[in-house]
A and B are shown apart, each in its own frame.
Chain A
């Protein structure tokens, strides 16, 4: 057993998990508080990535690009909320799903029109492109550590926001009793728009962080949204804690599965069979996990208290 590889892959899994958390948290926040199912969340992740990529190429500076792209993405989320989402709240979840599905088509085609069919590759700035040797033989790109640090910082910030600030209190109150909060004179409409924007920013941030490693591409939104859904289903829809834990589990399983499953299979299968079966099963792994969790807890691992 190659422990160094195991460690590196665990770190990879952690990275993926934290990025997933950034996306899933917005999704679960919007569902938990606004009772709104937003399929287009993945598209915002994609657009955030593209905006940041374009800005990086234009400004020549990745960090500044992120700093500017974040509020821009937030503003996009705000706009989407005001123009589309708001009108769908009073309808049932099916309408949310269909409406945001149409929104995905609009946003993705829009992105295609603006940025073209090929993706945008963004090089890492030199100071981030280094490597760190954590211990004997375990060499990690320092950017990965940055992503992990950022993910943890955002998670911590969210936790603080929701539990220790006035805004967070309003958010939690709005989640459990919308009418009451608006009766108290709080502008629910703006509150909701802010929550939406916050979710959008986090999704955008995830997209921005991953762009230097892969590329900003048109298909990335569609790819991440389903995984994000699996995360919040496993974690419990509406629960931040659930999203965090589930995201880490899913990230690690996906990474480990790809790396180690074939070795595991070779214990009881021929090498050929393992080579075919392993990618197939690891592709399905998180869904199998979801099914198992649901078999025992149909509401997810940490469902929030019922309204």
Chain B
């Protein structure tokens, strides 16, 4: 299948560039680009997770940023208590503990909100996931003990065995390897029998139900996998920025994630990475140009929606309008 090989090559080249370029820039004395790359990679993981249910499953979740926030707070809150005391049950700098907390809380949150949201479809589903995302935002905003809106700063990053997250290069490597793993995981899932059902349900849910599939369950499982992966991205992001605030969960963040997925090309493996890259680079470039960068950015987004089909990957595949 020639088309797949071409995508495969593009993917390989893109990932290789991503692996090599930032470290090179770091060693040549430009640490800023390493930071940019780390942020890009972490957001890409979140976008890949969203793509599983959005691109391949057709589930338009507008509340995915909540998982990023949950994962980040899973680092922030234990670190806060370890530094300032209180809530001994979670006070800890242990990275493995943070990781387990991030994954556990995200999975639980995904299970509960997914179980409710997936009973609806179409535009209801979009709005409900948005509302749940905001609920998480308001919840953390109301927690004065963690500074609410002003956010939490951690002085000490998660302590992991063998890896020192204070070293930007090691953080980048961990994030990069995580991204590669996430991409492989999504690819395997999508091509499995489970993935076929998910994709079939995206194409025609009623048909799948008639065939005998309880699509609600399949979608719920996909939703939980997606949310957990995104929570992991939050764990990485929290460690990267060391500043954790409810703003990470705001619905506009979810919108940006969705844009990365759509812009890059939904339902492809590389698409979310391209989208995340485009977003991060655009944001960087435009914001250094003007503080009002949201304006050209918004216009661009409108343009993409109006005039392209399939996003950047679609352009690669030759399906642009």
With the chains together, A276 CA to B139 CA distance in Å? 11
Do residues A101 and B120 form an inter-chain contact, with CB atoms below 8 A?
A: no
Chain B's closest residue to A222 (CB) is: B252
Give the chain B neighbours of A283 by CB distance below 8 A.
Answer: 135, 138-139, 141-142
Encode contact with A along B224-246: 1 for CB under 8 Å, 0 otherwise. Answer: 00000000000000000000000
Contacts A101-B255, A294-B119 given; indicate if A287 touches B131 (C-beta within 8 A). Answer: yes
Give the chain B neighbours of A87 by CB distance below 8 A.
Answer: 306
Chain A's closest residue to B305 (CB) is: A99
With the chains together, A277 CA to B141 CA distance in Å? 12
With the chains together, A5 CA to B13 CA distance in Å? 67
Q: Which of A50-58, A102-110, A148-156, A262-270 contacts B (4 or more CB under 8 A)?
A: A102-110
Do residues A287 and B135 form an inter-chain contact, with CB atoms below 8 A?
A: yes
- Asked if B62 is at the interface (CB within 8 A of a chain A CB), the reply is yes
Give the chain A neighbours of B211 by CB distance below 8 A.
Answer: none
Do residues A105 and B130 form an inter-chain contact, with CB atoms below 8 A?
A: no
Give the chain A neighbours of B128 by CB distance below 8 A.
Answer: 233, 290, 294
Q: Which of B2-10, B37-45, B273-281, B294-302 contacts A (4 or more CB under 8 A)?
A: B294-302
How many residues does chain B have at the interface if contact means C-beta atoms less than 8 Å apart? 42
Residue in contact with B124 in the complex, picked from A101, A108, A109, A237, CB distance below 8 Å: A237
Do residues A94 and B120 form an inter-chain contact, with CB atoms below 8 A?
A: no
Contacts A102-B299, A280-B142, A295-B119 given; indicate if A230 touches B294 (C-beta within 8 A). Answer: no
Do residues A98 and B301 form an inter-chain contact, with CB atoms below 8 A?
A: yes
- Asked if B262 is at the interface (CB within 8 A of a chain A CB), the reply is yes
Give the chain B neighbours of A103 by CB distance below 8 A.
Answer: 298, 302
With the chains together, A91 CA to B252 CA distance in Å? 22
Residue in contact with A94 in the complex, picked from B119, B126, B142, B302, CB distance below 8 Å: B126
Chain B's closest residue to A287 (CB) is: B135
CB neighbors of B among A271-307 (8 A): 276, 279-280, 282-284, 287-288, 290-291, 294-295, 298-299
Give the chain B neighbours of A294 by CB distance below 8 A.
Answer: 116, 119-120, 128
CB neighbors of A among B128-152 (8 A): 128, 130-132, 134-135, 138-139, 141-145
Give the chain B neighbours of A108 by CB distance below 8 A.
Answer: 294
How many residues does chain A have at the interface if contact means C-beta atoms less than 8 Å apart? 44
With the chains together, A84 CA to B307 CA distance in Å? 12
Residue in contact with A298 in the complex, picked from B119, B262, B297, B301, CB distance below 8 Å: B119
Do residues A93 and B123 form an inter-chain contact, with CB atoms below 8 A?
A: yes
CB neighbors of A among B268-321 (8 A): 292, 294-295, 297-302, 304-306
- Asked if A124 is at the interface (CB within 8 A of a chain B CB), the reply is no
Contacts A233-B128, A283-B139 given; indicate if A105 touches B116 (C-beta within 8 A). Answer: no
Interface of A is mostly: helix
Do residues B145 and A276 form an inter-chain contact, with CB atoms below 8 A?
A: yes
Give the chain A neighbours of B134 by CB distance below 8 A.
Answer: 226, 287
- Asked if A88 is at the interface (CB within 8 A of a chain B CB), the reply is yes
- Asked if B156 is at the interface (CB within 8 A of a chain A CB), the reply is no
With the chains together, A137 CA to B131 CA distance in Å? 38
Do residues A95 and B295 form an inter-chain contact, with CB atoms below 8 A?
A: no
Give the chain A neighbours of B135 by CB distance below 8 A.
Answer: 283-284, 287-288
Do residues A298 and B305 form an inter-chain contact, with CB atoms below 8 A?
A: no
- Asked if B127 is at the interface (CB within 8 A of a chain A CB), the reply is yes
- 19 pairs of residues in contact across A and B, judged by CB atoms under 8 Å: A84-B302, A94-B262, A97-B258, A98-B262, A98-B305, A101-B258, A102-B300, A102-B305, A105-B298, A109-B292, A229-B127, A229-B130, A229-B131, A233-B124, A237-B123, A237-B124, A280-B139, A287-B134, A295-B119
B residues apposed to A, CB below 8 Å? 60, 62, 116, 119-120, 122-124, 126-128, 130-132, 134-135, 138-139, 141-145, 250-252, 255, 258-259, 262, 292, 294-295, 297-302, 304-306
A residues apposed to B, CB below 8 Å? 31, 37, 84, 87-88, 91, 93-95, 97-99, 101-106, 108-110, 112-113, 222, 226, 229-230, 232-233, 237, 276, 279-280, 282-284, 287-288, 290-291, 294-295, 298-299
